């Protein structure tokens, strides 16, 4: 299909084809950016859980080192919160602080997914609008007696291209949206798991110190 034919079809749809081309470009950009970010976040969560398994009682220095390794990842805030809790005398509100850290990271994890969801819904509607406009143009041919009826069928075929483009964008976007949503769900599970692991490692050493102090007091 030549550029002249593409321009003709786009003009017949009232310019809707150009808008859908822009939507496709935005959708592809979002999918690539989110896929890369979420892939890194998934790997970071798996690696962090493995590292915490290797350190049942991490020191402050080890927690700071881990925090530096996950810069710009959602796990960094959890590690920083664990560092702050380790230095506080009363860890009773530790779980609430960890929950707050996770809630602050959620907007960064599912960022831009609402735009992809909107494109999936909007693309078929725009395609239908382009087809309706193209149908108006096709049937307008009948107003001229010198035009052959076959021109109407050709115009209808061109008008349906807009609907096909809208459905194509929606199908691609829906598959990508569901895949990214699934990754977000797994990342949230990782964060919850890391939260519990850090809570166990923040509270356990403090309980051990308290038990030791009680034993020394009894001996004295």
Q: How confident is the model at residue 2 (pLDDT cuts 50, 70, 90)?
A: low
Which of 136, 127, 148 is CA-nearest to residue 24?
A: 127
| Beta-carbon count within 10 A of 100 CB | 13
Percent of the chain whose pLDDT exceeds 90: 48
Average model confidence (pLDDT) for the chain? 83
Q: Pick the range with the lowest mean pLDDT from 7-16, 33-42, 78-87, 129-138.
A: 7-16
Place of tokens 């009680």: 214
**72 Ramachandran zone, left/alpha/beta (phi>0; psi -120 to 50):** left
* pLDDT(176) > 90: yes
What's the domain range around 136?
Answer: 3-219
> How many domains does the chain fold into?
1
Top-confidence residue, 91 or 193? 193
* pLDDT(213) > 50: no
Which of 31, 17, 45, 32 is CA-nearest to residue 127?
A: 17
């Amino acid at each position: 299909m030549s550029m002249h034919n593409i321009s003709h079809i786009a003009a017949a749809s009232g310019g809707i084809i150009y808008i859908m081309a822009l939507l496709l470009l935005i959708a592809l950009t979002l999918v690539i950016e989110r896929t890369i970010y979420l892939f890194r976040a998934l790997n970071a969560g798996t690696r962090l859980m493995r590292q915490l398994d290797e350190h049942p009682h991490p020191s402050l220095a080890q927690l700071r080192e881990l925090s530096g390794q996950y810069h710009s990842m959602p796990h960094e805030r959890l590690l920083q919160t664990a560092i702050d809790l380790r230095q506080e005398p009363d860890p009773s509100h530790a779980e609430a602080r960890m929950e707050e850290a996770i809630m602050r990271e959620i907007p960064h994890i599912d960022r831009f997914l609402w735009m992809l969801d909107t494109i999936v819904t909007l693309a078929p509607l725009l395609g239908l609008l382009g087809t309706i406009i193209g149908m108006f143009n096709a049937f307008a041919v009948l107003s001229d007696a010198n035009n052959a009826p076959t021109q109407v069928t050709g115009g209808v075929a061109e008008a349906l291209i807009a609907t096909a483009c809208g459905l194509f964008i929606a199908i691609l976007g829906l598959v990508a949206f569901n895949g990214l949503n699934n990754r977000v769900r797994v990342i949230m599970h990782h964060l919850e798991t890391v939260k519990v692991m850090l809570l166990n490692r923040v509270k356990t050493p403090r309980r051990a110190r308290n038990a030791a102090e009680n034993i020394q007091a009894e001996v004295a």
